[in-house]
A and B are shown apart, each in its own frame.
Chain A
Amino acid sequence: MSYLTVNNLTHTYGEGTPSRKVAINDISFSLEKGDVLGVIGHTGSGKSTLVTHLNGLMKPTSGSIILDGKDIWEKPKEIKNIRSKVGLVFQYPEYQLFEETVYKDIAFGPENLGLVGTELDRSVRSAAALMKVQDELLDKSPFELSGGEKRRVAIAGVLAMNPDVVVFDEPTAGLDPIGRETIFSAIADYRKKNNATIIIVSHSMEDIAAVCNKVLVLNGGKVAYFGDTRTVFSNVSGLAEIGLGVPMITSLFEKIKAKHPDLDCSPLTVDEALSFLLSYLGKGGRADA
Protein backbone atom coordinates (compact mmCIF):
# COMPACT_ATOMS: atom_id res chain seq x y z
CA MET A 1 0.00 0.00 0.00
CA SER A 2 1.26 3.44 -0.80
CA TYR A 3 2.43 5.75 1.97
CA LEU A 4 1.00 9.06 0.81
CA THR A 5 -2.12 9.15 -1.32
CA VAL A 6 -3.88 12.23 -2.59
CA ASN A 7 -7.44 11.51 -3.71
CA ASN A 8 -9.43 13.87 -5.95
CA LEU A 9 -8.07 16.89 -4.09
CA THR A 10 -9.88 20.11 -5.00
CA HIS A 11 -9.57 23.56 -3.53
CA THR A 12 -11.72 26.53 -4.43
CA TYR A 13 -10.95 30.04 -3.27
CA GLY A 14 -13.78 32.45 -2.52
CA GLU A 15 -16.58 29.86 -2.85
CA GLY A 16 -19.89 31.63 -3.42
CA THR A 17 -18.37 34.97 -4.42
CA PRO A 18 -17.90 36.43 -7.90
CA SER A 19 -14.12 36.00 -7.53
CA ARG A 20 -14.50 32.21 -7.09
CA LYS A 21 -11.42 30.47 -8.40
CA VAL A 22 -10.62 26.78 -8.59
CA ALA A 23 -6.94 26.60 -7.61
CA ILE A 24 -6.54 22.84 -7.81
CA ASN A 25 -9.01 20.52 -9.41
CA ASP A 26 -9.40 16.80 -8.81
CA ILE A 27 -5.75 16.01 -8.13
CA SER A 28 -4.86 12.39 -7.44
CA PHE A 29 -1.50 10.66 -7.08
CA SER A 30 0.25 8.34 -4.68
CA LEU A 31 3.79 7.90 -3.42
CA GLU A 32 5.74 5.17 -1.64
CA LYS A 33 8.25 5.61 1.13
CA GLY A 34 11.57 6.64 -0.37
CA ASP A 35 9.99 8.17 -3.49
CA VAL A 36 11.28 11.50 -4.76
CA LEU A 37 8.54 13.36 -6.59
CA GLY A 38 9.20 16.37 -8.78
CA VAL A 39 6.29 18.80 -9.18
CA ILE A 40 6.41 21.03 -12.23
CA GLY A 41 4.05 23.62 -13.66
CA HIS A 42 3.82 27.31 -14.42
CA THR A 43 3.49 30.00 -11.80
CA GLY A 44 -0.21 29.87 -10.93
CA SER A 45 -0.69 26.23 -11.93
CA GLY A 46 -1.66 25.31 -8.37
CA LYS A 47 1.69 24.03 -7.09
CA SER A 48 1.73 26.21 -3.97
CA THR A 49 -1.90 25.41 -3.18
CA LEU A 50 -1.16 21.71 -3.50
CA VAL A 51 1.88 21.72 -1.20
CA THR A 52 0.18 23.77 1.53
CA HIS A 53 -2.53 21.10 1.64
CA LEU A 54 -0.07 18.32 2.29
CA ASN A 55 0.68 19.36 5.87
CA GLY A 56 -2.79 20.65 6.68
CA LEU A 57 -2.11 24.38 6.36
CA MET A 58 -5.03 24.47 3.97
CA LYS A 59 -8.15 22.38 4.13
CA PRO A 60 -9.39 20.72 0.94
CA THR A 61 -12.73 21.86 -0.44
CA SER A 62 -13.20 18.23 -1.40
CA GLY A 63 -11.05 15.14 -1.68
CA SER A 64 -8.65 13.69 0.83
CA ILE A 65 -5.02 13.17 1.75
CA ILE A 66 -4.20 9.76 3.17
CA LEU A 67 -0.93 9.50 5.07
CA ASP A 68 0.19 6.10 6.33
CA GLY A 69 -3.35 4.77 5.97
CA LYS A 70 -5.09 7.65 7.76
CA ASP A 71 -6.98 10.66 6.43
CA ILE A 72 -5.09 13.66 7.81
CA TRP A 73 -8.38 15.53 8.40
CA GLU A 74 -10.00 12.60 10.21
CA LYS A 75 -9.78 14.55 13.48
CA PRO A 76 -9.58 18.23 12.53
CA LYS A 77 -8.56 19.21 16.06
CA GLU A 78 -5.42 17.13 15.78
CA ILE A 79 -4.34 18.55 12.45
CA LYS A 80 -1.27 20.08 14.07
CA ASN A 81 0.12 16.60 14.70
CA ILE A 82 0.44 16.16 10.97
CA ARG A 83 3.10 18.89 10.91
CA SER A 84 5.50 16.55 12.69
CA LYS A 85 5.03 14.00 9.93
CA VAL A 86 4.98 16.26 6.88
CA GLY A 87 7.66 18.94 6.83
CA LEU A 88 7.25 21.88 4.50
CA VAL A 89 10.17 24.01 3.35
CA PHE A 90 8.86 27.15 1.69
CA GLN A 91 10.54 29.13 -1.05
CA TYR A 92 13.31 31.36 0.34
CA PRO A 93 13.02 29.72 3.79
CA GLU A 94 15.85 31.89 5.15
CA TYR A 95 13.31 34.68 5.60
CA GLN A 96 11.69 32.76 8.45
CA LEU A 97 14.81 32.75 10.67
CA PHE A 98 14.23 34.73 13.86
CA GLU A 99 16.11 33.32 16.85
CA GLU A 100 19.21 34.73 18.52
CA THR A 101 21.35 31.78 17.55
CA VAL A 102 21.39 29.22 14.77
CA TYR A 103 21.01 26.46 17.36
CA LYS A 104 17.86 27.98 18.86
CA ASP A 105 16.38 28.53 15.44
CA ILE A 106 16.85 24.94 14.39
CA ALA A 107 15.42 23.89 17.78
CA PHE A 108 12.22 25.94 17.30
CA GLY A 109 10.38 23.23 15.32
CA PRO A 110 11.29 20.20 17.46
CA GLU A 111 10.59 22.21 20.64
CA ASN A 112 7.10 22.98 19.37
CA LEU A 113 6.66 19.23 18.98
CA GLY A 114 7.52 18.84 22.64
CA LEU A 115 11.08 17.57 22.37
CA VAL A 116 13.35 18.43 25.33
CA GLY A 117 16.79 17.66 26.74
CA THR A 118 19.12 15.25 25.00
CA GLU A 119 16.49 14.22 22.47
CA LEU A 120 16.11 17.85 21.38
CA ASP A 121 19.85 18.36 21.31
CA ARG A 122 20.35 15.23 19.23
CA SER A 123 17.74 16.20 16.64
CA VAL A 124 19.15 19.73 16.32
CA ARG A 125 22.73 18.55 15.93
CA SER A 126 21.95 15.76 13.50
CA ALA A 127 19.85 18.07 11.30
CA ALA A 128 22.63 20.66 11.39
CA ALA A 129 25.24 18.07 10.46
CA LEU A 130 23.08 16.75 7.65
CA MET A 131 22.69 20.25 6.18
CA LYS A 132 26.46 20.86 6.49
CA VAL A 133 25.95 23.57 9.11
CA GLN A 134 29.28 23.46 10.97
CA ASP A 135 29.33 23.31 14.78
CA GLU A 136 31.00 26.70 15.11
CA LEU A 137 28.04 28.31 13.36
CA LEU A 138 25.52 27.04 15.90
CA ASP A 139 26.21 29.80 18.44
CA LYS A 140 26.24 32.57 15.86
CA SER A 141 23.29 34.76 15.01
CA PRO A 142 21.57 33.43 11.88
CA PHE A 143 21.68 36.95 10.47
CA GLU A 144 25.48 36.92 10.31
CA LEU A 145 25.57 34.00 7.89
CA SER A 146 25.92 34.03 4.12
CA GLY A 147 22.88 33.47 1.92
CA GLY A 148 23.64 29.82 1.26
CA GLU A 149 24.31 29.11 4.96
CA LYS A 150 21.05 30.76 6.00
CA ARG A 151 19.17 28.60 3.53
CA ARG A 152 20.75 25.44 4.95
CA VAL A 153 19.97 26.49 8.54
CA ALA A 154 16.34 27.12 7.61
CA ILE A 155 16.05 23.70 5.98
CA ALA A 156 17.72 22.10 9.01
CA GLY A 157 15.00 23.74 11.12
CA VAL A 158 12.40 21.67 9.28
CA LEU A 159 14.42 18.44 9.06
CA ALA A 160 15.07 18.60 12.84
CA MET A 161 11.38 17.79 13.27
CA ASN A 162 12.21 14.47 11.66
CA PRO A 163 9.32 14.39 9.18
CA ASP A 164 8.53 11.27 7.13
CA VAL A 165 7.51 13.39 4.17
CA VAL A 166 9.38 16.58 3.29
CA VAL A 167 8.10 19.04 0.72
CA PHE A 168 10.55 21.54 -0.76
CA ASP A 169 9.21 24.52 -2.70
CA GLU A 170 12.02 25.67 -5.01
CA PRO A 171 14.75 24.77 -2.51
CA THR A 172 17.57 26.13 -4.66
CA ALA A 173 16.00 29.34 -5.99
CA GLY A 174 18.57 32.11 -6.25
CA LEU A 175 21.52 29.88 -5.31
CA ASP A 176 24.64 29.37 -7.39
CA PRO A 177 25.65 25.88 -8.63
CA ILE A 178 27.71 25.02 -5.54
CA GLY A 179 24.83 26.02 -3.25
CA ARG A 180 22.40 23.98 -5.36
CA GLU A 181 24.63 20.93 -5.28
CA THR A 182 25.00 21.08 -1.46
CA ILE A 183 21.26 21.27 -0.93
CA PHE A 184 20.36 18.46 -3.31
CA SER A 185 22.95 16.13 -1.83
CA ALA A 186 21.71 16.91 1.71
CA ILE A 187 18.15 16.14 0.64
CA ALA A 188 19.34 12.84 -0.80
CA ASP A 189 21.16 12.03 2.46
CA TYR A 190 18.05 12.73 4.50
CA ARG A 191 15.96 10.52 2.27
CA LYS A 192 18.43 7.65 2.51
CA LYS A 193 18.80 7.95 6.28
CA ASN A 194 15.07 8.08 7.07
CA ASN A 195 13.61 6.32 4.05
CA ALA A 196 11.62 9.53 3.72
CA THR A 197 9.31 10.57 0.93
CA ILE A 198 10.53 13.75 -0.75
CA ILE A 199 8.52 16.19 -2.87
CA ILE A 200 10.38 18.89 -4.76
CA VAL A 201 8.74 21.76 -6.59
CA SER A 202 11.11 23.16 -9.19
CA HIS A 203 11.29 25.04 -12.47
CA SER A 204 14.47 23.26 -13.50
CA MET A 205 13.73 20.20 -15.60
CA GLU A 206 17.43 19.27 -15.43
CA ASP A 207 17.33 19.20 -11.62
CA ILE A 208 14.08 17.22 -11.60
CA ALA A 209 15.48 14.69 -14.06
CA ALA A 210 18.62 14.30 -11.99
CA VAL A 211 17.03 13.76 -8.57
CA CYS A 212 13.42 12.58 -8.93
CA ASN A 213 12.06 9.12 -9.70
CA LYS A 214 8.50 10.37 -10.21
CA VAL A 215 7.11 13.55 -11.75
CA LEU A 216 3.77 15.33 -11.37
CA VAL A 217 2.95 17.95 -13.99
CA LEU A 218 0.27 20.49 -13.11
CA ASN A 219 -1.49 22.68 -15.63
CA GLY A 220 -4.29 25.07 -14.75
CA GLY A 221 -4.84 23.32 -11.42
CA LYS A 222 -5.17 19.85 -12.96
CA VAL A 223 -2.83 16.90 -13.30
CA ALA A 224 -1.43 16.93 -16.82
CA TYR A 225 0.95 14.01 -16.28
CA PHE A 226 1.93 11.78 -13.40
CA GLY A 227 4.31 8.86 -13.55
CA ASP A 228 7.93 7.84 -13.41
CA THR A 229 10.35 10.49 -14.59
CA ARG A 230 11.30 8.86 -17.87
CA THR A 231 7.70 8.27 -18.92
CA VAL A 232 6.64 11.82 -18.12
CA PHE A 233 9.58 13.36 -19.95
CA SER A 234 8.88 11.21 -23.01
CA ASN A 235 5.83 13.44 -23.66
CA VAL A 236 8.02 16.04 -25.33
CA SER A 237 5.32 17.56 -27.52
CA GLY A 238 2.61 17.33 -24.85
CA LEU A 239 4.79 19.21 -22.37
CA ALA A 240 5.71 21.78 -25.01
CA GLU A 241 2.00 22.34 -25.66
CA ILE A 242 1.46 23.51 -22.08
CA GLY A 243 4.56 25.65 -22.32
CA LEU A 244 6.85 23.41 -20.27
CA GLY A 245 10.06 21.88 -21.45
CA VAL A 246 12.01 18.70 -20.95
CA PRO A 247 15.63 18.60 -19.77
CA MET A 248 17.96 20.30 -22.26
CA ILE A 249 19.75 17.02 -22.98
CA THR A 250 16.43 15.28 -23.73
CA SER A 251 15.39 17.97 -26.18
CA LEU A 252 18.86 17.88 -27.75
CA PHE A 253 18.32 14.21 -28.54
CA GLU A 254 14.90 14.96 -29.99
CA LYS A 255 16.66 17.28 -32.43
CA ILE A 256 19.29 14.66 -33.27
CA LYS A 257 16.59 12.05 -33.76
CA ALA A 258 14.91 14.31 -36.33
CA LYS A 259 17.92 13.57 -38.54
CA HIS A 260 18.62 10.05 -37.26
CA PRO A 261 15.22 8.51 -36.54
CA ASP A 262 16.81 5.12 -35.80
CA LEU A 263 18.54 6.53 -32.70
CA ASP A 264 16.90 4.79 -29.76
CA CYS A 265 17.68 6.95 -26.76
CA SER A 266 15.93 9.62 -24.69
CA PRO A 267 18.52 10.47 -22.08
CA LEU A 268 17.64 12.37 -18.90
CA THR A 269 21.19 13.22 -17.90
CA VAL A 270 24.42 14.12 -19.65
CA ASP A 271 26.16 10.96 -18.45
CA GLU A 272 23.39 8.79 -19.83
CA ALA A 273 23.63 10.59 -23.17
CA LEU A 274 27.39 10.25 -23.20
CA SER A 275 27.50 6.53 -22.51
CA PHE A 276 24.86 5.93 -25.15
CA LEU A 277 26.76 7.96 -27.75
CA LEU A 278 30.06 6.30 -26.92
CA SER A 279 28.65 2.84 -27.40
CA TYR A 280 26.68 3.89 -30.48
CA LEU A 281 29.79 5.36 -32.07
CA GLY A 282 31.62 2.11 -31.49
CA LYS A 283 33.75 2.92 -28.49
CA GLY A 284 31.28 1.54 -25.99
CA GLY A 285 32.83 -1.92 -26.02
CA ARG A 286 36.06 -0.54 -24.67
CA ALA A 287 34.25 1.62 -22.10
CA ASP A 288 32.16 -1.31 -20.87
CA ALA A 289 35.04 -3.72 -20.58
Chain B
Amino acid sequence: MLNDITFGQYFVANSLIHRLDPRCKLLYLVYMIVLVFLAQNVVSLASVALLSLTIMLLTRIPIRLYLKSIKVVIPIIIFTAVLNMFYSSAEAAPLVSFWIFKIYSSGLIRAGFMAVRVLLLILLSSVLTYTTTPNDLTDAIERVLSPLKFIGLGRAIHTMSMMMTIALRFIPTLIDETNKIMNAQKARGAELDSGGIVKKVKALLPILIPLLISSVRRAYELAEAMECRCYNGGKGRVRMKQLHMKARDYASFLVISAFLGVIIISNIYVKIGVV
Protein backbone atom coordinates (compact mmCIF):
# COMPACT_ATOMS: atom_id res chain seq x y z
CA MET B 1 0.00 0.00 0.00
CA LEU B 2 2.80 2.36 0.90
CA ASN B 3 4.19 1.97 -2.58
CA ASP B 4 1.01 3.50 -4.01
CA ILE B 5 1.82 6.93 -2.64
CA THR B 6 3.11 8.94 -5.57
CA PHE B 7 1.78 12.27 -4.37
CA GLY B 8 4.65 14.65 -3.75
CA GLN B 9 7.13 12.88 -6.02
CA TYR B 10 8.98 14.33 -8.97
CA PHE B 11 9.11 12.56 -12.33
CA VAL B 12 11.89 13.33 -14.76
CA ALA B 13 10.71 14.43 -18.20
CA ASN B 14 11.36 17.36 -20.45
CA SER B 15 7.98 18.91 -21.15
CA LEU B 16 6.81 22.46 -21.53
CA ILE B 17 5.22 22.24 -18.08
CA HIS B 18 8.50 20.99 -16.57
CA ARG B 19 10.30 24.01 -17.98
CA LEU B 20 7.86 26.65 -16.78
CA ASP B 21 9.07 28.92 -14.02
CA PRO B 22 8.21 27.18 -10.72
CA ARG B 23 6.95 30.46 -9.27
CA CYS B 24 4.47 30.71 -12.13
CA LYS B 25 3.45 27.10 -11.64
CA LEU B 26 2.82 27.72 -7.97
CA LEU B 27 0.72 30.79 -8.67
CA TYR B 28 -1.13 28.92 -11.43
CA LEU B 29 -2.03 26.22 -8.96
CA VAL B 30 -3.57 28.81 -6.66
CA TYR B 31 -5.27 30.40 -9.66
CA MET B 32 -6.62 27.05 -10.90
CA ILE B 33 -7.98 26.29 -7.44
CA VAL B 34 -9.83 29.58 -7.52
CA LEU B 35 -11.20 28.70 -10.98
CA VAL B 36 -12.32 25.28 -9.78
CA PHE B 37 -14.40 26.90 -7.07
CA LEU B 38 -15.58 29.78 -9.23
CA ALA B 39 -17.02 27.35 -11.76
CA GLN B 40 -20.67 27.27 -10.83
CA ASN B 41 -22.21 25.34 -13.72
CA VAL B 42 -21.58 22.29 -15.85
CA VAL B 43 -20.09 24.21 -18.76
CA SER B 44 -17.60 26.19 -16.70
CA LEU B 45 -16.59 23.19 -14.61
CA ALA B 46 -16.17 21.10 -17.75
CA SER B 47 -13.97 23.77 -19.28
CA VAL B 48 -11.78 23.89 -16.18
CA ALA B 49 -11.58 20.09 -16.26
CA LEU B 50 -10.63 20.22 -19.93
CA LEU B 51 -7.93 22.78 -19.22
CA SER B 52 -6.61 20.60 -16.40
CA LEU B 53 -6.57 17.54 -18.63
CA THR B 54 -4.71 19.44 -21.34
CA ILE B 55 -2.12 20.52 -18.80
CA MET B 56 -1.76 16.93 -17.58
CA LEU B 57 -1.22 15.70 -21.12
CA LEU B 58 1.32 18.44 -21.73
CA THR B 59 3.45 17.14 -18.85
CA ARG B 60 4.16 13.94 -20.83
CA ILE B 61 3.80 11.96 -17.62
CA PRO B 62 1.74 8.76 -18.06
CA ILE B 63 -1.91 9.25 -16.98
CA ARG B 64 -1.48 6.00 -15.01
CA LEU B 65 0.68 7.89 -12.51
CA TYR B 66 -2.00 10.53 -12.04
CA LEU B 67 -4.56 7.81 -11.43
CA LYS B 68 -2.24 6.36 -8.82
CA SER B 69 -2.15 9.69 -7.00
CA ILE B 70 -5.95 9.68 -6.85
CA LYS B 71 -6.19 6.11 -5.55
CA VAL B 72 -5.20 7.04 -2.02
CA VAL B 73 -7.78 9.83 -1.71
CA ILE B 74 -10.77 8.00 -3.20
CA PRO B 75 -12.30 7.37 0.27
CA ILE B 76 -12.12 11.09 1.01
CA ILE B 77 -13.77 11.93 -2.31
CA ILE B 78 -16.59 9.43 -1.73
CA PHE B 79 -17.08 10.72 1.80
CA THR B 80 -17.33 14.35 0.67
CA ALA B 81 -19.62 13.46 -2.19
CA VAL B 82 -22.01 11.45 0.00
CA LEU B 83 -22.10 14.21 2.57
CA ASN B 84 -23.00 16.71 -0.13
CA MET B 85 -25.64 14.43 -1.60
CA PHE B 86 -27.89 14.73 1.44
CA TYR B 87 -27.28 18.38 1.87
CA SER B 88 -29.78 20.34 -0.14
CA SER B 89 -32.03 23.32 0.24
CA ALA B 90 -34.14 22.49 -2.82
CA GLU B 91 -37.89 22.93 -2.56
CA ALA B 92 -38.73 20.46 -5.35
CA ALA B 93 -39.84 16.94 -4.49
CA PRO B 94 -37.02 14.59 -3.53
CA LEU B 95 -35.85 12.01 -6.08
CA VAL B 96 -35.49 9.27 -3.52
CA SER B 97 -36.53 9.26 0.08
CA PHE B 98 -36.19 6.67 2.80
CA TRP B 99 -36.39 7.02 6.58
CA ILE B 100 -34.93 10.46 7.39
CA PHE B 101 -32.85 10.67 4.23
CA LYS B 102 -34.05 12.56 1.20
CA ILE B 103 -32.00 12.88 -1.94
CA TYR B 104 -32.77 15.84 -4.19
CA SER B 105 -31.57 16.30 -7.74
CA SER B 106 -29.75 19.44 -6.66
CA GLY B 107 -28.02 17.36 -3.95
CA LEU B 108 -26.81 14.90 -6.58
CA ILE B 109 -25.46 17.70 -8.71
CA ARG B 110 -23.77 19.20 -5.68
CA ALA B 111 -22.20 15.82 -4.86
CA GLY B 112 -20.97 15.45 -8.42
CA PHE B 113 -19.50 18.95 -8.39
CA MET B 114 -17.76 18.31 -5.11
CA ALA B 115 -16.23 15.04 -6.31
CA VAL B 116 -14.96 16.63 -9.52
CA ARG B 117 -13.57 19.60 -7.60
CA VAL B 118 -11.66 17.48 -5.10
CA LEU B 119 -10.39 15.31 -7.94
CA LEU B 120 -9.17 18.35 -9.86
CA LEU B 121 -7.47 19.74 -6.77
CA ILE B 122 -5.52 16.53 -6.30
CA LEU B 123 -4.65 16.22 -9.99
CA LEU B 124 -3.54 19.84 -10.30
CA SER B 125 -1.40 19.58 -7.18
CA SER B 126 0.11 16.41 -8.65
CA VAL B 127 0.93 18.27 -11.85
CA LEU B 128 2.88 20.77 -9.78
CA THR B 129 4.80 18.23 -7.70
CA TYR B 130 5.34 15.77 -10.58
CA THR B 131 6.86 18.41 -12.86
CA THR B 132 8.77 20.49 -10.35
CA THR B 133 11.78 19.23 -8.43
CA PRO B 134 11.23 19.54 -4.71
CA ASN B 135 14.03 22.05 -4.51
CA ASP B 136 12.50 24.20 -7.24
CA LEU B 137 9.18 23.96 -5.51
CA THR B 138 10.41 25.00 -2.10
CA ASP B 139 12.49 27.65 -3.80
CA ALA B 140 9.37 28.96 -5.51
CA ILE B 141 7.44 28.99 -2.25
CA GLU B 142 10.30 30.81 -0.59
CA ARG B 143 10.39 33.40 -3.34
CA VAL B 144 6.66 33.85 -3.71
CA LEU B 145 6.44 34.43 0.03
CA SER B 146 9.58 36.55 0.12
CA PRO B 147 7.71 39.89 0.44
CA LEU B 148 6.85 38.68 3.96
CA LYS B 149 10.46 39.36 4.96
CA PHE B 150 9.51 43.01 5.20
CA ILE B 151 7.41 42.13 8.22
CA GLY B 152 10.29 40.17 9.80
CA LEU B 153 9.43 36.65 8.62
CA GLY B 154 12.48 36.10 6.35
CA ARG B 155 14.08 33.50 8.60
CA ALA B 156 10.81 31.64 9.13
CA ILE B 157 10.22 31.36 5.38
CA HIS B 158 13.69 29.95 4.76
CA THR B 159 13.32 27.45 7.60
CA MET B 160 9.99 26.30 6.27
CA SER B 161 11.28 25.76 2.76
CA MET B 162 14.35 23.89 4.07
CA MET B 163 12.08 21.66 6.12
CA MET B 164 10.00 20.90 3.03
CA THR B 165 13.09 20.05 0.97
CA ILE B 166 14.28 17.63 3.61
CA ALA B 167 10.85 16.12 4.18
CA LEU B 168 10.47 15.43 0.46
CA ARG B 169 13.97 14.01 0.26
CA PHE B 170 13.28 11.55 3.11
CA ILE B 171 9.78 10.40 2.14
CA PRO B 172 11.00 7.58 -0.14
CA THR B 173 13.71 6.59 2.34
CA LEU B 174 11.21 6.31 5.17
CA ILE B 175 8.73 4.39 3.04
CA ASP B 176 11.45 1.84 2.26
CA GLU B 177 12.37 1.70 5.89
CA THR B 178 8.76 1.14 6.99
CA ASN B 179 8.47 -1.79 4.61
CA LYS B 180 11.69 -3.29 5.94
CA ILE B 181 10.64 -2.96 9.57
CA MET B 182 7.20 -4.42 8.83
CA ASN B 183 8.81 -7.44 7.20
CA ALA B 184 11.27 -7.84 10.04
CA GLN B 185 8.52 -7.81 12.68
CA LYS B 186 6.36 -10.16 10.65
CA ALA B 187 9.34 -12.51 10.52
CA ARG B 188 9.26 -12.42 14.32
CA GLY B 189 5.64 -13.56 14.24
CA ALA B 190 4.00 -10.16 14.66
CA GLU B 191 0.40 -10.08 13.44
CA LEU B 192 -0.24 -6.74 11.85
CA ASP B 193 -3.55 -7.33 10.18
CA SER B 194 -5.80 -9.16 12.60
CA GLY B 195 -7.65 -8.53 15.85
CA GLY B 196 -9.72 -5.62 17.08
CA ILE B 197 -8.81 -1.94 17.08
CA VAL B 198 -6.89 -2.03 20.36
CA LYS B 199 -4.91 -5.04 19.23
CA LYS B 200 -4.20 -3.39 15.87
CA VAL B 201 -2.99 -0.17 17.44
CA LYS B 202 -0.81 -2.16 19.82
CA ALA B 203 0.55 -4.13 16.88
CA LEU B 204 1.72 -0.86 15.32
CA LEU B 205 4.14 -0.08 18.15
CA PRO B 206 6.82 -2.53 16.96
CA ILE B 207 6.80 -0.59 13.69
CA LEU B 208 6.34 2.97 14.88
CA ILE B 209 8.96 2.92 17.63
CA PRO B 210 11.85 1.71 15.42
CA LEU B 211 10.72 4.14 12.73
CA LEU B 212 10.70 7.04 15.16
CA ILE B 213 14.08 6.14 16.59
CA SER B 214 15.64 5.77 13.18
CA SER B 215 14.14 9.09 12.05
CA VAL B 216 15.67 10.85 15.03
CA ARG B 217 19.03 9.25 14.29
CA ARG B 218 18.80 10.22 10.63
CA ALA B 219 17.84 13.78 11.55
CA TYR B 220 20.81 14.03 13.87
CA GLU B 221 23.25 12.68 11.29
CA LEU B 222 21.80 14.90 8.57
CA ALA B 223 22.18 17.96 10.79
CA GLU B 224 25.86 17.10 11.31
CA ALA B 225 26.38 16.60 7.59
CA MET B 226 24.68 19.93 6.83
CA GLU B 227 26.83 21.69 9.40
CA CYS B 228 29.91 20.22 7.73
CA ARG B 229 28.69 21.69 4.45
CA CYS B 230 28.78 25.18 5.94
CA TYR B 231 25.03 25.47 6.47
CA ASN B 232 24.22 28.05 9.10
CA GLY B 233 20.53 28.61 8.86
CA GLY B 234 20.49 30.08 5.38
CA LYS B 235 22.51 33.20 6.08
CA GLY B 236 24.28 34.40 2.93
CA ARG B 237 22.96 31.47 0.90
CA VAL B 238 22.83 31.91 -2.88
CA ARG B 239 20.92 29.44 -5.03
CA MET B 240 22.59 27.84 -8.05
CA LYS B 241 19.42 28.01 -10.08
CA GLN B 242 18.26 31.57 -10.46
CA LEU B 243 14.76 32.03 -11.78
CA HIS B 244 14.12 34.19 -14.81
CA MET B 245 10.74 34.65 -16.44
CA LYS B 246 10.89 33.60 -20.09
CA ALA B 247 8.59 34.11 -23.07
CA ARG B 248 6.82 30.78 -22.41
CA ASP B 249 6.01 31.93 -18.88
CA TYR B 250 4.36 35.13 -20.11
CA ALA B 251 2.54 33.23 -22.86
CA SER B 252 1.21 30.63 -20.44
CA PHE B 253 0.01 33.46 -18.25
CA LEU B 254 -2.05 34.87 -21.11
CA VAL B 255 -3.58 31.48 -21.97
CA ILE B 256 -4.54 30.68 -18.44
CA SER B 257 -5.93 34.18 -17.81
CA ALA B 258 -8.24 33.87 -20.78
CA PHE B 259 -9.99 31.10 -18.90
CA LEU B 260 -11.09 33.42 -16.14
CA GLY B 261 -13.16 35.21 -18.78
CA VAL B 262 -14.66 31.91 -20.00
CA ILE B 263 -15.68 30.95 -16.48
CA ILE B 264 -17.22 34.31 -15.64
CA ILE B 265 -19.16 34.54 -18.88
CA SER B 266 -20.49 31.00 -18.62
CA ASN B 267 -21.43 31.55 -14.99
CA ILE B 268 -23.57 34.48 -16.08
CA TYR B 269 -25.17 33.04 -19.21
CA VAL B 270 -25.34 29.26 -18.78
CA LYS B 271 -28.26 28.14 -16.63
CA ILE B 272 -28.02 24.34 -16.81
CA GLY B 273 -26.55 22.27 -13.99
CA VAL B 274 -26.10 25.25 -11.74
CA VAL B 275 -25.12 24.56 -8.15
Contacts and interface: CB of A to CB of B under 8 A. Distances in A.
**Are A and B co-members of a single complex?**
yes
A80 interface: yes
A72 to B, nearest CB: 14
Interface in A65-105: 80, 83-84, 87-88, 90, 93, 95-98
A165 to B, nearest CB: 12
A98 B183 contact: no
Contacts of A52: 183
Interface string B172-213: 000001001101111111110000000000000110011001
A96 B183 CA distance: 10
Contacts of A113: 189
Interface residues of A, number: 22
B15 interface: no
A98 B188 contact: no
Contacts of A55: 187
Interface in B209-234: 209-210, 213-214
Given A95-B181, A96-B181, A88 B187 contact: yes
Interface string B127-159: 000000000000000000000000000000000
A161 B187 CA distance: 10
A109 interface: yes
A77 to B, nearest CB: 11
B201 to A, nearest CB: 14
Given A83-B189, A113-B189, A157-B188, A57 B183 contact: yes
A83 B187 contact: yes
A98 B209 contact: yes
B189 A80 contact: yes
A161 B206 CA distance: 17
Contact of B210 (A80, A88, A96): A96
A187 interface: no
Contact of A109 (B188, B209, B210, B214): B188
A53 B172 CA distance: 24
Contacts of A226: none
B210 A95 contact: yes
12 contacts: A83-B187, A87-B187, A90-B183, A93-B184, A95-B184, A108-B188, A108-B190, A109-B188, A112-B188, A113-B189, A143-B213, A161-B188
Interface of B: 177, 180-181, 183-191, 205-206, 209-210, 213-214
A-B residue pairs, 6 tightest by C-beta: A112-B189, A98-B209, A109-B188, A88-B187, A96-B184, A90-B184
